[in-house]
A = this chain, B = another copy of it.
Amino acid sequence: MNTHYSDRLAEAIRCRQTPAVVGIDPVLERLPAALRPKDTTCGAALEAVETFCRGVLDVLAPLVPAVKINVGFFEAFYWYGFTAYYRIVAYAHQRGLLVIGDIKRGDIGSTARQYAQGHLDHTVFDEVHELHIPDAVTLAGYLGENAVRPFIDLARRHGRGVYILVRPSEPKADEVHEFGGAQRFYQHMAGLVRRWGDDEELIGECGLSCVGAVVAPKDAESTAALRALLPRTPFLVPGYGAQGGTAESCRPCFLPDGTGAVINASRSVIYAFSKPEYAERHGGDWQACIAAAGRTFAADVAGLASG
């Protein structure tokens, strides 16, 4: 798997004709009634969560190029959940989906090397050579270059990618990211991401780096400024759907040729069966509801990628 991550993602977007990515954030309390666990053990809970995830991936596989799997929703189940995370990554790959592991790790250099091995390297030990690991991961770069460099080195070597937090979708994150004067903290982080990732040997044939940025769409002007500052940086755009973003608000995240970004929606798609407009149309068929919401989302943002 040595093809550059951004080239593989571009091909998958062309194939599915949409830059839509669905976030897999499984919460026990929100599962379809039919899947609820029968007892209060961690094992039964996790089995229900995994059944849900596989069902979600089954219906999304033909619709979107990639899924974002959030490891936090699996760590909620201690080590039981961590094994399930790797199983769900493998299942998504088997269904032909690219996988972004939403891990948001960020620690000092000596520790970052260890995290990077666990999340982006399957070549170290005999029995993990067949292990499925994500095609890209999200990272926190707040401890500086050494926190991300081990991941970037592995990404380059193994055809994988990273997305570093620049502007999160969480409104409360503004109390950190809007810090500063003429230059805001998120702009400073964007400058660091450019420095870390804008190196010829990190750029794919499509012209994009394997070092990306998480950039939530706020006002069009500031988003366009980030896009201009980071012309070779792929954006992972959160905040669509349940968090209030629209396709139009995501438009400035794309390059003029319609490449350079994927749009993520999580709860608005995978919990579509809880919304009357889907539930009424599809009865109790939770997978049909998710498929319908996935198709609507994929179509809504399709035009953004066509330039």
- A interface with B by C-beta (< 8 Å): 25, 27, 39-43, 45, 70, 72-73, 75-79, 81-83, 85-86, 102, 104-112, 114-115, 117-119, 124-128, 131, 140-147, 165, 168-170, 172-176, 179-181, 185, 188-189, 192, 267
CB distance from A160 to the nearest CB of B (A): 16
Chain B residues, CB < 8 A from A170 = 108-109, 143-144, 146-147
Do A76 and B145 contact each other (CB < 8 Å), given the known contacts A110-B25, A180-B179, A188-B179?
A: no
Q: Pick the contact of A119 from B75, B173, B181 — CB < 8 Å?
A: B75
Can you list 14 A-B pairs with a CB-CB distance of less than 8 A?
Answer: A42-B127, A45-B125, A70-B114, A72-B107, A75-B114, A76-B118, A78-B118, A79-B85, A108-B173, A110-B267, A142-B165, A144-B175, A175-B192, A176-B188
Chain B residues, CB < 8 A from A115 = 72, 75-76
Q: How far is the CA of A39 from the CA of B41 in the complex (A)?
A: 36
Q: How far is the CA of A146 from the CA of B118 in the complex (A)?
A: 27
Q: How far is the CA of A183 from the CA of B85 in the complex (A)?
A: 41
Chain B residues, CB < 8 A from A141 = 176
Q: What number of copies of this chain does the assembly contain? A: 2
Query: Can you name 17 extra interface pairs (CB under 8 A) apart from A70-B114, A142-B165?
Result: A25-B110, A42-B128, A70-B107, A72-B114, A72-B115, A75-B119, A76-B114, A76-B117, A78-B82, A78-B86, A79-B85, A102-B111, A109-B170, A142-B176, A143-B170, A147-B172, A185-B185
> Chain A binding site: helix, strand, loop or mixed by DSSP?
helix
Do A143 and B75 contact each other (CB < 8 Å), given the known contacts A104-B106, A107-B104, A125-B42?
A: no
List the 9 closest A-B pairs by CB distance, nearest first: A144-B172, A42-B125, A108-B170, A76-B114, A75-B118, A79-B83, A72-B111, A82-B82, A144-B173
Asked if residues A114 and B179 are in contact (CB atoms below 8 Å), the reply is no
Chain B residue with minimal CB distance to A115? B72
Chain B residues, CB < 8 A from A25 = 110-111
CB distance from A270 to the nearest CB of B (A): 12
Asked if residues A174 and B114 are in contact (CB atoms below 8 Å), the reply is no
Q: How far is the CA of A228 from the CA of B172 in the complex (A)?
A: 26
Asked if residues A131 and B192 are in contact (CB atoms below 8 Å), the reply is no
Q: How far is the CA of A40 from the CA of B39 in the complex (A)?
A: 40
Q: How far is the CA of A81 from the CA of B85 in the complex (A)?
A: 14
Chain B residues, CB < 8 A from A189 = 176
